[in-house]
C-alpha cells in the first residue's frame, strides 16, 4: 500500500531537513548552489553553441540538467529503499532489463530467452563497461544475482531472490543462465529490471579489505560481543549499565573490521544517550560480520554487503557515474563515455535536494531547476500557467474504488445489486466534480499505459431504469419513500470512507444521491483511518463486517492480481490481515491468476489478464472510481535526442542517456 514505514521516513526526513537548511544557508553565504553550467536558466554563462565539454557532438544542447529530489539520498546500491536513492540509482546502475514507456520490461544489458519449461533462462549480454573501465562480464552478473539469491541477502527485500531463483550460472563471458524452482512470470517483469549489475571486482575488493581487517577477528568472539549486548538489552529490564559496558568491545571489533559505526545521535532520545538501543544496532552489525566470517564465498559477502564502504562510491554500468556527493546539498553525476548504448547526450546531471514541493515547483517555473516529480495540487498551481514548464500527466498507480463486501449474507453479495449501482451513476461527471478534474475515471485496476490494460472494458452509461429493473429482478419492491424493500428490510447500506479526504467524501456524497434515484439508501460514514477503518477491514469476515468501503490500492508494475483476488487470499478470522478482505472467490479467476504466474510470455499473459479485467467488469466486486493524476513537471524543451517523451505514461522517464534540453 501507499504508506512507507515511519522509521524510514523519519530517518531520511531528518537528513533532508539538514540538507535543506544547509542548502539555504550555503546559498545565503554566497557560495551559491552552483551546479555547473546552465542550470540557472537565464543566468547561464554565455557559452555559445557547441559549448565546451559536450562530447556527444549534439551541439546546441545544454551541458547539464538539474533534477530535484525531495530527500537526502542514502547509499546508492541494491540495498536502496527510498525514492531519492532510487532516483539516483537509476542513472548509475543498469539492470539486465528496463521499463520502457509502455511499462514493458525490455532488454537492456541482456536479452533472455526461456526454455520450454520456463524454468531455465538463458541471457545473452551486450558489451558494456563499468565506470572504472572494467568490462562487464557474465561473472559480474552472476555475482550480483548470487548476492540476492543468498540466504544472507541484504538487498532491498523486493530483490531478495531466495525461493524465486535457484541459481545463476556462467556459460561464457557473454552468456548467463538462470534456473528457477518454478515458473514465475514476474521474473521478467519485476526482477530482471530491478536488480542492478555491480562489479564483482569492486565488491570483492571491498570485501577483501573487510576480511583483511576482520581476519584477525574470531567469529566466536564477535558473536560473544554481540551477545554481550543482546543479553542486557533484551532482558526483562534492559540493563543500561550492562549495555554500556559491552559497547567498547563491540565498537572496537567493528572498527577493526573497517565497518562504519552508527551515529550516536540516532540513538539519543530527549537528551539521554541510550546505550542499549545503540548497542542493538551494533549487535546486529556484529552478527552480520560473524555470519560473514563463518560463511563462505558469496554468502559471506552477502551477509556484510550493506556494511561495505563501496556504497559511497558506486560503480555501475549505467549512463552516469558519481562525481560529487555533497551531503545535504547536491549530487553531481557525469556521463559515462563508454556507455553501452552510446555516449550520453548531456554531460552532467545535477541533483538538488528540495523538500518543499511547492518551493521546488516555483523554482521550476523560474527556470532554476529542470525537473520536479509528483507535484501536489499546491505545487502544480505554481507552474500551471508557466510557458517554460511542461507536465507529464498520467494516472498513477493509485486507484480508488468502492469495494463491496461480497461474502454470503452481505447485501452486496447480490450481483444484480452491484451491476445496478454501476448503472445508477454518471461516473465521469461524478469523478470530475469530486476531484476538481484531478483524476481519471477508471474501469479497472490496471493503469491505461500498461501493456496489460484492456481497452475494450468500457464503462456504462447512466440508466436508472435498467438499474431498477435489475434490483427488482432480485425481488425487491419499491416502497412509498422511494427506497426498495424486501422481507421488511430496506435496501440500505453504510459505506466507510476515510475522514479528511474530501475528494473521496465528495465522490461518495454525489454517488449516494444518484443511487437514491434508483431506490437505494446509502449512508456515507467518514471515519478515522487508524482507529476505525483498519479494524473494520480486519473484521470483514465477521457477521457485523462492513458493507462497503471506499478506498484504494497502489497497483504494482506487474499486473499479477494474486494477493487481492485469489481465493486463498480471502481474509478469515485466523488471518484477518489478508488483502482479499471483500471475500471474492471465483475459480475461473483463480485459474487465470495461476496461469498468468506460470508463463512469462507477455502475449499469453496479456490475453489472460484481458479476460480477468472482463470478468471483474461483469461482476463488479469493486466499483472502480478513479485514479488520481500524477504530475511531473519539467523544462518545456526537455526531450530525447530522437523524439518526445510519452507524457501520459507513468514510466515516461527512461533512456536517460538520451535526455537533453536544447540551448534556447
Partner 1 sequence: MAGYMARRLVQAVPILLGVAVISFGLIYLAPGDPIDRFRTPTIRPEQLEGLVRLYGLDKPLHEQFWSWLSTYVQVWRTEAWGYSFLDGQPVLHKIAERLPATLLLGGTALLVTVAVAIPLGILAAVKQYSWADRLISSLATIGYAIPSFLLGLYLLFFGGVVLGWFPLFGMESFGREGDPVDIAWHLVLPVSSLAVQQIAGWSRYVRASMLEVLHQDFVRTAHAKGLTARRVTFKHALRNALIPIITLIGLTIPSLLAGAAITEAIFSYPGVGQMGVQAVTNRDYPVVLAFVMIGGIGVIIGNLVADIAYAVADPRIKLG
Partner 2 sequence: MAHLDTVARRIGELEADPESLDRTPVRTYWELARGRFLRNRLAVAGLMVLVLMVVASIAIPALTGDAWRTALLAKVNAPPEVGTTADGQLVFAPLGYSDIGQNVLARVAKATGTSLSIGVAAVVIIVVLGIGIGSVAGYFGGWVDNLLMRFVDIVLSLPGLFIILALVSFWGGGSIWVIIIAIGITGWTLAARLVRAEFLRLREADYVQAARALGASPLRIIGRHMLPPAMAPIIVAATLGVADSVVVEAALSFLGFGISQPEASLGNMLTEAQTYFFRNPWLVVWPGLVLVMIVMSASFLGDGVRDALDPRQR
Residues in contact with partner 1 by CB under 8 A are: 5-7, 10-11, 13-14, 16-18, 21, 24, 27-28, 33, 40, 233-238, 240, 266, 268-272, 274, 276-277, 280, 354, 356, 358-359, 362-363, 366, 368-369, 381-382
Q: Is 461 in the site for partner 2 (CB under 8 A)?
A: no
Q: Min. distance of Cβ 400 from partner 2 in angstroms?
A: 16
What one-character-per-residue DSSP string does 380-429 give?
HHHHTT-TTEEEEEEE-SEEEEEEE--STTSGGG-HHHHHHHHHTS-HHH
Quick one: 163 or 500, whose CB is closer to partner 2? Answer: 500
C-alpha span between 178 and 189 (Å, rounded): 15
Instruction: For partner 1, give the closer residue by CB, 9 or 539.
Output: 9
Does position 433 interact with partner 2 (CB under 8 A)? The reply is yes
Contacts of residue 129, Cβ cutoff 8 Å, sequence gap at least 6: 135, 136, 317, 336, 338, 339, 340
| Contact in structure between 145 and 88 (CB atoms under 8 Å) | no
Give CA–CA dist 633/646, Å, rounded.
13
Residue window 323-362: x/- pattern of binding to partner 2, with contact defined by CB under 8 A: ----------------------------------------
Cβ-based burial of 148 (10 A; exposed 0-12, middle 13-18, buried ≥19): buried
Which is closer to partner 2, CB of 367 or CB of 526? Answer: 526
Q: Work out whether 492 is an interface residue with partner 2 (CB under 8 A).
A: no
H/E element, 112: strand 110-114
Q: Which partner from the list partner 2, partner 1, none does 505 bind, CB cut-off 5 to 8 Å by kind?
A: partner 2
Which is closer to partner 1, CB of 27 or CB of 534?
A: 27
Nearer to partner 1 (CB atom), residue 233 or residue 592: 233
Least distance (Å) between residue 306 CB and partner 1: 16
Q: Which is nearer to partner 1, 269 or 387 (CB)?
A: 269
The reply on whether position 482 binds partner 2 by CB under 8 A is no
Closest distance of CB 382 from partner 2, Å? 14
Given candidates 221, 337, 426, 607, which one binds partner 2 under the rule CB under 8 A? 426
Partner whose binding site includes residue 233, from partner 1, partner 2, none (CB under 5 to 8 Å by kind): partner 1
Q: By C-beta, is 5 or 216 nearer to partner 1?
A: 5
410, 584 Cβ separation under 8 angstroms? no
Q: How far is the CB of 267 from partner 1 (least distance, A)?
A: 11
Q: CB-wise, 10 or 575, nearer to partner 1?
A: 10
CA 389 to chain centroid, in Å, comes to 26
Q: Which of residues 510-549 bind partner 2 (CB under 8 A)?
A: 510, 512-514, 524, 526, 528
What 3-state class would DSSP assign to 356?
Answer: coil
Partner whose footprint covers residue 49, from partner 2, partner 1, none (CB < 5 to 8 Å by kind): none
- Cell numbers at residue 529, please? 483511518
- Check if the beta carbon of residue 283 is closer than 8 Å to that of residue 290: no
Of 175, 277, 284, 509, the one binding partner 2 (CB under 8 A) is 509
- Check: CB of residue 406 under 8 Å from CB of residue 413: yes
Whichever of 119 and 433 has its CB closer to partner 2, that residue is 433
Using only C-alpha atoms, the chain has a radius of gyration, in whole angstroms, of 28
Q: Is 502 in the site for partner 2 (CB under 8 A)?
A: yes
Residue selected from 208, 500, 554, 594 as contacting partner 2 according to rule CB under 8 A? 500
What's the closest the beta carbon of residue 151 comes to partner 2, in angstroms? 45
Q: Looking at beta carbons only, is 294 or 463 nearer to partner 2?
A: 463
DSSP 241-280: HHHHHHHHHHHHHHHHTTPPPPPGGGGEETTEE-HHHHHH
Spatial contact of 86 and 4, defined as CB atoms under 8 Å apart: no
In 3D space, the residue among 403, 411, 405, 406 whose CA is nearest the CA of residue 490 turns out to be 411
Minimum CB separation of residue 348 from partner 1 in Å reads 19
Asked if 168 and 125 touch (Cβ cutoff 8 Å), the reply is: no
Contacts of 24 (CB under 8 A, 6+ apart): none
CB-nearer residue toward partner 1: 71 or 186 = 71
Span of 27-35, 207-215, 429-437, 485-493 interacting with partner 2 by CB under 8 A: 429-437
**Residue for cell digits 540495498?**
79
Q: Can you tell me the distance from the alpha carbon of 362 to that of 384, in angstroms, rounded to the nearest whole number?
A: 10
From partner 2, partner 1, none, interface partner of 144 (C-beta below 5 to 8 A by class) = none
Q: Which of 504, 500, 520, 329 is nearest to 420 (CA)?
A: 520
Q: Look at residue 76 and give the partner it binds from partner 2, partner 1, none, a contact being a CB closer than 5 to 8 Å depending on partner kind.
A: none
| Nearest CB to partner 1, comparing residues 14 and 451 | 14
Least Cβ distance, residue 441 to partner 1 (angstroms) = 28
CB 493 within 8 A of CB 487: no
Q: How far is the CB of 642 from partner 1 (least distance, A)?
A: 32
Using DSSP's 3-state secondary structure scheme, residue 492 falls into: strand
Which helix (H) or strand (E) segment is 496 a member of? strand 492-498
Task: Report the nearest approach of partner 2 to the CB of residue 437 (Å).
Answer: 8
When CB distances are held under 5 to 8 angstroms depending on the partner's kind, the choice from partner 2, partner 1, none that residue 499 binds is partner 2
Which string of DSSP letters, residue by residue, matches 3-66?
PPPHHHHHHHHHHHHHHHHHHHHHHHTT-----SGGGGGGG-----SS-TT-TT--TTB-SEEE
- When CB distances are held under 5 to 8 angstroms depending on the partner's kind, the choice from partner 1, partner 2, none that residue 11 binds is partner 1
User: Closer to partner 2 at the Cβ: 247 or 527?
Assistant: 527
Binding at 236: pick from partner 1, partner 2, none (beta carbon under 5-8 Å per type)? partner 1
Choose the one of partner 1, partner 2, none that binds residue 512, judging by a C-beta under 5 to 8 angstroms depending on kind. Answer: partner 2
Cell of 420: 445496478
- Provide the CA 390 distance to its chain's centre, in angstroms: 24
Q: Which three cell numbers stand for residue 514?
A: 444518484
Using CB under 8 A as the criterion, which residues of the chain lie in contact with partner 2 when the complex forms? 377, 426, 429-430, 433-434, 436, 499-500, 502, 505-506, 509-510, 512-514, 524, 526, 528
Amino acid at each position: 500500500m501507499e504508506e512507507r514505514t515511519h522509521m524510514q521516513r523519519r530517518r531520511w526526513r531528518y537528513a533532508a531537513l539538514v540538507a535543506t537548511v544547509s542548502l539555504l544557508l550555503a546559498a545565503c553565504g554566497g557560495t551559491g548552489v552552483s551546479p555547473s553550467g546552465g542550470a540557472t536558466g537565464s543566468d547561464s554563462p554565455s557559452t555559445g553553441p557547441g559549448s565546451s565539454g559536450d562530447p556527444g557532438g549534439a551541439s546546441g544542447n545544454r551541458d547539464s540538467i538539474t533534477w530535484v529530489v525531495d530527500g537526502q539520498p542514502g547509499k546508492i546500491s541494491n540495498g536502496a529503499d527510498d525514492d531519492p536513492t532510487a532516483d539516483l540509482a537509476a542513472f548509475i546502475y543498469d539492470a539486465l532489463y528496463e521499463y520502457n514507456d509502455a511499462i514493458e520490461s525490455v532488454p537492456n544489458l541482456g536479452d533472455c530467452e526461456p526454455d520450454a519449461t520456463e524454468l531455465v533462462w538463458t541471457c545473452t549480454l551486450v558489451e558494456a563497461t563499468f565506470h572504472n573501465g572494467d568490462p562487464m562480464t557474465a561473472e559480474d552478473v552472476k555475482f550480483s544475482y548470487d548476492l540476492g539469491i543468498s540466504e544472507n541477502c541484504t538487498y532491498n527485500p523486493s530483490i531478495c531472490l531466495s525461493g524465486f531463483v535457484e541459481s545463476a550460472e556462467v556459460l561464457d563471458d557473454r552468456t548467463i543462465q538462470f534456473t528457477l524452482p518454478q515458473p514465475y512470470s514476474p521474473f521478467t517483469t519485476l526482477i530482471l529490471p530491478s536488480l542492478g549489475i555491480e562489479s564483482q571486482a569492486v565488491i570483492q575488493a571491498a570485501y577483501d579489505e573487510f576480511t583483511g581487517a576482520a581476519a584477525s577477528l574470531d567469529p566466536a568472539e564477535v558473536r560473544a560481543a554481540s551477545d554481550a549486548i543482546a543479553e542486557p538489552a533484551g532482558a526483562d529490564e534492559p540493563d543500561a549499565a550492562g549495555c554500556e559496558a559491552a559497547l567498547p568491545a563491540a565498537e572496537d571489533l567493528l572498527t577493526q573490521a573497517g565497518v562504519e559505526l552508527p551515529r550516536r545521535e540516532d540513538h539519543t532520545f530527549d537528551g539521554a544517550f541510550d546505550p542499549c538501543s545503540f548497542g542493538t544496532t551494533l549487535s546486529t552489525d556484529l552478527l552480520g560480520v560473524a555470519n560473514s566470517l563463518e560463511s563462505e564465498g558469496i554468502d559471506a559477502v552477502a551477509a556484510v554487503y550493506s556494511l561495505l564502504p563501496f556504497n559511497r562510491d558506486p560503480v555501475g554500468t549505467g549512463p552516469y557515474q558519481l562525481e560529487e556527493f555533497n551531503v545535504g546539498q547536491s549530487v553531481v553525476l557525469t556521463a559515462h563515455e563508454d556507455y553501452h548504448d552510446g555516449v550520453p547526450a548531456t554531460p552532467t546531471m545535477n541533483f538538488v535536494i528540495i523538500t518543499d514541493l511547492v518551493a521546488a515547483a516555483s523554482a521550476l517555473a523560474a527556470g532554476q531547476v529542470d525537473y520536479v516529480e509528483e507535484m501536489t495540487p499546491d505545487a502544480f498551481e505554481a507552474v500551471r500557467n508557466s510557458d517554460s514548464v511542461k507536465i507529464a500527466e498520467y494516472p498513477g498507480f493509485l486507484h480508488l474504488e468502492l469495494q463491496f463486501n461480497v461474502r454470503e449474507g452481505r447485501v452486496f453479495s447480490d450481483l444484480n445489486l452491484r451491476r445496478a449501482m454501476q448503472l445508477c451513476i454518471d461516473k465521469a461527471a461524478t469523478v470530475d466534480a469530486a476531484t476538481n478534474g484531478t483524476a481519471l475515471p477508471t474501469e479497472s485496476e490496471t493503469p491505461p499505459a500498461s501493456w496489460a490494460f484492456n481497452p475494450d472494458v468500457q464503462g456504462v452509461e447512466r440508466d436508472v431504469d435498467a438499474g431498477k429493473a435489475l434490483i427488482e429482478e432480485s425481488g425487491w419492491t419499491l416502497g412509498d419513500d422511494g427506497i426498495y424493500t424486501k422481507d421488511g428490510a430496506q435496501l440500505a447500506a453504510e459505506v466507510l470512507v476515510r475522514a479528511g479526504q474530501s475528494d473521496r467524501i465528495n465522490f461518495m456524497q454525489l454517488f449516494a444521491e444518484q443511487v437514491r434515484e434508483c431506490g437505494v439508501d446509502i449512508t456515507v460514514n467518514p471515519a478515522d483511518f487508524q482507529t476505525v477503518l483498519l479494524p473494520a477491514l480486519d473484521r470483514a469476515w465477521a457477521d457485523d463486517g462492513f458493507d462497503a468501503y471506499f478506498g484504494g490500492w497502489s497497483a504494482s508494475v506487474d499486473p499479477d492480481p494474486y494477493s487481492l483476488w485469489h481465493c486463498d487470499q480471502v481474509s478469515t478470522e485466523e488471518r484477518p490481515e489478508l488483502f482479499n478482505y471483500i471475500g471474492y472467490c471465483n475459480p475461473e479467476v483463480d485459474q487465470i491468476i495461476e496461469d498468468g504466474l506460470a508463463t512469462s510470455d507477455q502475449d499469453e499473459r496479456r490475453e489472460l489478464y484481458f479476460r480477468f479485467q472482463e470478468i471483474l467488469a461483469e461482476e463488479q466486486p469493486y466499483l472502480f472510481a478513479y485514479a488520481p493524476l500524477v504530475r511531473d513537471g519539467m523544462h518545456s524543451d526537455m526531450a530525447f535526442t530522437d523524439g518526445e517523451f510519452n507524457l501520459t505514461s507513468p514510466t515516461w522517464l527512461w533512456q536517460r542517456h538520451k535526455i537533453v534540453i536544447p540551448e534556447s
